[in-house]
Amino acid sequence: MKVTITHIDTACVLININGYKILTDPTLDKKDGFFPQYVSSPMAFSKKYISPFLSIEEIGKVDLVLLSHDHHSDNLDKKGRAFIKTVPVVLSTKDAVRRLKNTNTIGLDNWQEYQVETEKVKSLKITAIPAQHTNIKRLDKIMGKVIGFTLEWGGQTNGCMYISGDTVLFDGLYELEQKKKVDIAILHLGAGAFPYLKKNLRVTMNGKEAIATTQLLNPSIVIPIHYEGWWHFKQSVKSLKSEIERSELNEKFLWLKSGTETFLSE
């Protein structure tokens, strides 16, 4: 089974499984001009300083979108919203279905499964995995519902592919470790934060949590994404890579070259 991944922008990657194309968290707008933009509200602002590495034309036709959440613009922006209307099926949260009002969007609860019907991939199944978009549990509802995903298909021998969505390390990932064997883990990092709103608030994993999550799930490959390109990512790329390179798990980490297709299996 030929499987490739291409990093496009932030948490937006193109996963190609035997010709079946899946796009995650479409952020397709170019980098900002002089003024910052709002990530979720007038109080949570940021600035995007890196443009997508592939154009919409280069991405081409997509079979499925996995949208961890729709209410933050570093996971779904203006061009991304237009793009998902052209895709046959979008899997996301039930809150996203209500807000987007797109007839092609299907909302999943935690651990709910969706069976994909395609001749390209045998028994392709998507499962919604719990995510917690803040390290301060009482603020979880304020941050809004987010999910991750696992991808399973016939012929996998070492476990599933896991996409974390915007989450920190929390109880749901310990539940994942009990329920599924993960072979490839795609982790949203960057230590996203808005310290002027609340001190010590963090909305995505930092390097330390990426290492701890790797220890917990024990995947063969860990692919970091969502770690540069926005002001509100508070851990620098240099710091993140240095922290991981110093760990005993460094060899598991695969750093993608943005815009370049990388083979995961053939």
One-character DSSP codes across 78-134: HHHHHHHTTSSEEEE-HHHHHHH--TTEEE--TT-EEEE--SSSTTEEEEEEE--S-
- Tell me the pLDDT tens digit for each residue of 81-102: 999 999 999 999 999 999 999 9
Amino acid identity of residue 60, one-letter, is G
144 pLDDT tier (thresholds 50, 70, 90):
very high
Rounded CA gap, 153 and 177, in Å? 18
Provide the pLDDT for residue 34: 47
- Tell me the pLDDT tens digit for each residue of 197-225: 567 889 999 999 999 999 999 999 999 99
195 pLDDT tier (thresholds 50, 70, 90):
low
Domains of the chain: 3-256 (3.60.15.10)
What average pLDDT does this structure show over 18-43?
77
Provide the pLDDT for residue 44: 61
What average pLDDT does this structure show over 253-258?
98
Q: Apex CA 11: angle with CA 141 and CA 70, to 5°? A: 40
Provide the pLDDT for residue 40: 52
